[in-house]
Amino acid sequence: MKTTFQNRHGIDPCVHLECTFETPVQRQSESLETVIGAASSPQNKQIIDEIVQGDDPSLSEAIVLLQNGLLPHEVDSEADLRNSIEKRSTFFPDSYHMLTTKQDGKVTGVSIGYYIAEVNIGFISYVVVEKDSGRLGLGKVLRTELLRKFGEDAKNAGKSIPLGYIGEVKDNNPWLQMLIRNYQVTPFDLPYMQPPMRADDEPSPLVLYFQKHPESTVALDNRMILQSIHAIYRKIYDVKNPEDCDYFQKIKSFLEEK
């Protein structure tokens, strides 16, 4: 579940995290869908929806969009993505979300995230939009909706609100600076490594960042940061025992010495 991005196949380079958002959002009371786009611009009308069934035809489109927008080592396999959708109902008190935007029935953007109940944090995995659609600010809309879902997840898990949200990004990605500037995101000062996506891959050095929930009064200390990384490794990357990983031990030693 990735954050770095290479501009390929006409996918928006602002992918991972957000794009600017200029068009108003209206919520439809009759469903979870959201209409995006000014009434005066029906050609820009986009719908946000959530994929919750493995046989949803939008799932295949969303997977293709992810695969076209990310390098092979940056995205989960198609089998893993489908498996997550099919088993999402078994994750409680955790929760998995795959959100899409659509225009005229075509998937134009996708965001994926996972709420981790044991640390009460939402993990942002992907936000990818088509290049032309990115000009509508769909990346930001998808990410904002994902955070709203994490709020619902926290309540369902018996929490009042999530402590905040965590994501990964390359240190030279301009969107990290945008997040810091516009969303009070705090990059963690630690030697974070993203576990390999596949058995033959190597861990990747990334910046791990934290966005505090605006109503949260809890500040993450080093112990809580380590607990969050431990949970991310297990829940997101299927690392059965993070303690066995050299890169986790380096993070642990770094935080314990600070």
Confidence bin at 35 (pLDDT 50/70/90): very low
Lowest mean pLDDT of 39-53, 58-72, 187-201, 240-254, name the range. 39-53
pLDDT in tens, 107-159: 999 999 999 999 999 999 999 988 765 556 788 899 999 999 999 999 999 99
Long-range pairs, 22-25, Cβ under 8 A, ≥24: 22/136, 22/137, 23/136, 23/137, 25/141
Q: Which of 22-36, 133-147, 155-169, 193-207 has the weakest average pLDDT?
A: 22-36
Higher pLDDT, 211 or 200: 211
Q: Which residue type, as a one-letter code, is found at position 64?
A: V
When pLDDT is averaged across residues 180-194 and rounded to a whole number, the result is 92
Mean pLDDT for the chain overall:
82
Q: pLDDT band at 184, cuts 50/70/90? A: confident
pLDDT band at residue 2, thresholds of 50, 70 and 90? Answer: very low
Decide if pLDDT at 65 tops 60: yes
List the domains of the chain with CATH numbers: 25-257 (3.40.630.30)
Residue 187 or 200, more confident: 187
51 is written with which tokens?
A: 């994929």
Predicted local confidence at residue 136, as pLDDT: 64
Q: At residue 211, what is the residue type?
A: Q
pTM of the model: 0.82
Q: Give the E-state strand segments of 117-227 in sequence order.
A: 121-129, 164-169, 186-187, 193-194, 204-205, 207-212
pLDDT of the residue at 22: 26
pLDDT, position 72: 76
User: In sequence order, what are the residues at sequence separation of 6 or more whose Cβ sits closer than 8 angstroms to the Cβ of residue 39?
Assistant: none
Tell whether the model's pLDDT for residue 190 goes beyond 60. yes
Helix locations, 21-96, DSSP H: 57-69, 78-86
The reply to whether omega before 93 is within 30° of 0 (cis) is: yes
